[in-house]
Amino acid sequence: MAGPSGRELCPDSIMILRDPVHGLIAFEERREALIAPLLATREVQRLRRVRQLGLASLVFPGAEHSRFAHAVGAAFVMSRLLDRLERIGTKIRPEAMDDAIAAALLHDLGHGPFSHLYEDVLPRAKTHEEWTITILRDPSTEIHRALERWREGMSEDVIALLEGRSTSPVLSRAVSGTLDVDRMDYLLRDSLMTGVSYGLYDLDWLLEGLTVIEHLGEPRIAILGRKGIPPIEAFFLGRHHMYQQVYHHKAVRAAETLVRGLFKRLAELVLAGEAPPGVPRGIEAAIVGKTIESHDYLNLDDSTLIAATALWEESGDPELAGFAEAIRTRKLPKTIPLSVEAREVFGELVEELSALAESKGLRADLHVSLDEPVDIPYREDPNDPSSGFWVSLRHREPARLGDVSFVLRELRNKPASRPRLVFPESLRNEAVAITGARLLAISE
């Protein structure tokens, strides 16, 4: 028996990988025949050199895991979800299953170095989602050719899934939605690798509690009765706690401000015609607004940027060299948490700290900032039927998860903000005094 690619499928054909999150990951027969050639492409292998959590390892020593491991995990969760859908009688064409597993594996293909930071610090650069589409569509890439060998037109079918344009709304939302295989894997993986328990939830029970309903004119994945609510509550609460305690950790965010400062100064030098040695072509093109070729972008990964940063540490520009050294030696800025109730003085605090920095010979625009990460634990737009999640209840019409779950009703659409002042350690004593005086004044 042969697969669509012409590869012979052996009844005993199976790929088994050991994974710290899922134990033994197995892709059998048709799925093994699909996954193996995709994993072998240089574009997927590049994900081994892009850390899943960017600079979080400066705070959580174990957070060295890669986007490659996450991609494999997401594909495995998709495989398990498809098995669940088959068990409950959902009819899905084999080709659509192939597309779903490939989309899960390849959803992060376009991520740049230092995770999301690359696109944050180079605003004229494409987003990682846009790069994923570009890479999949580029005939010169190995991944495009591997998909087309499996089935002509498959690369566009996978792109349609990633962009939410698939003819299967069930699979589109499983790839990217309120509850998708990306989040199902990364919460467990990031929690394990950072050494925290905030993101842990019962994946087995969550998958077992899913069903498919016909609602508002189309099929959609839903929770089967009230028994499926506890694991999905744990999922969303876990995601919220991971944002609060890991992704938005004060030291992680402080480290990210170093990278922003470094790239801002690098951009100034490049645009002034004073580029330091070792600027990768992909980064230089993004700074000056030129089109970045796929092969130049694919040459960017964490190791490339770390090597370039080591060169910039020897730069004659003191600001660039200072940021490069601070990143390498983990000399992080300091932070002061602020209450959202004191928002009226945020601007004044930044102005005072900026003036203080300038008086010390520092560029305030590079060294002083207000950092305000925001997370919404559970989104549910009452006017958008595709927003949020639905619960299938016996003898009743499907209901919104936020209407059935007391916990998620309380968290629904409520932003959780953690504002902080960020500044160099040398300003710490004065910054504490200034902030304390301002906050005391508005409390009186």
DSSP letter (8 states) at residue 379: -
d(CA 91, CA 105): 22
Q: Hey, what CATH topology would domain 14-195 get? A: Hypothetical protein af1432 (1.10.3210)
Considering only CA atoms, give the Rg of the chain. 24
Give the SS3 label for residue 312.
Answer: helix
CA dihedral 264, 311, 301, 126 (to 10 degrees): 30
Measure the CA–CA gap between 259 and 142, rounded to whole angstroms: 31
User: pTM for the complete prediction?
Assistant: 0.93
Helix axes 250-271, 302-312, angle to 10 degrees: 70
276-281, long-range: CB within 8 Å, 24+ apart, which pairs?
A: 276/311, 276/312, 276/315, 276/317, 276/320, 277/311, 278/307, 278/308, 278/311, 278/312, 279/308, 280/304, 280/305, 280/308
Give the residue carrying structure tokens 């991609």: 71
CA nearest 148: which of 297, 325, 294, 5?
5
Instruction: Decide if 301 contacts 45 (C-beta within 8 A).
Output: no
Chain-centroid distance of CA 144 in Å reads 23
Strand partners, 223: 210, 391
- Give the span between the Cα atoms of 131 and 300, in whole angstroms: 12
Give yes or no for a contact between 30 and 7, defined as CB atoms under 8 angstroms apart: no
pLDDT at 151: 97
Q: In what order do the strands lie in the sheet with 218-224?
A: 210-215, 218-224, 390-392, 399-400
Among 65, 69, 5, 68, CA closest to 32: 5
What architecture is domain 249-332?
Up-down Bundle (1.20)
pLDDT tens string for the chain (444 positions)?
456 755 555 555 789 999 999 999 999 999 999 999 999 999 999 999 999 999 999 999 999 999 999 999 999 999 999 999 999 999 999 999 999 999 999 999 999 888 766 777 776 678 889 999 999 999 999 999 999 999 999 999 999 999 988 888 889 889 988 889 999 999 999 999 999 999 999 999 999 999 999 877 888 899 998 888 999 999 999 999 999 999 999 999 999 999 999 999 999 999 999 999 999 999 999 888 888 889 999 999 999 999 999 999 999 999 999 999 999 999 999 999 999 988 999 999 999 999 999 999 999 999 999 999 999 999 998 888 777 889 998 888 889 999 999 999 999 999 999 999 999 999 999 999 999 887 755 544
Report CA-CA distances (Å) from 442 to 67, 345, 346, 351, 439.
45, 8, 12, 17, 5
SS (H, E, C) 321-333: HHHHHHHHHCCCC
pLDDT score, position 19: 97
pLDDT of residue 61: 96
**Residue ranges of domains in the chain:** 14-195, 249-332, 334-377+417-444
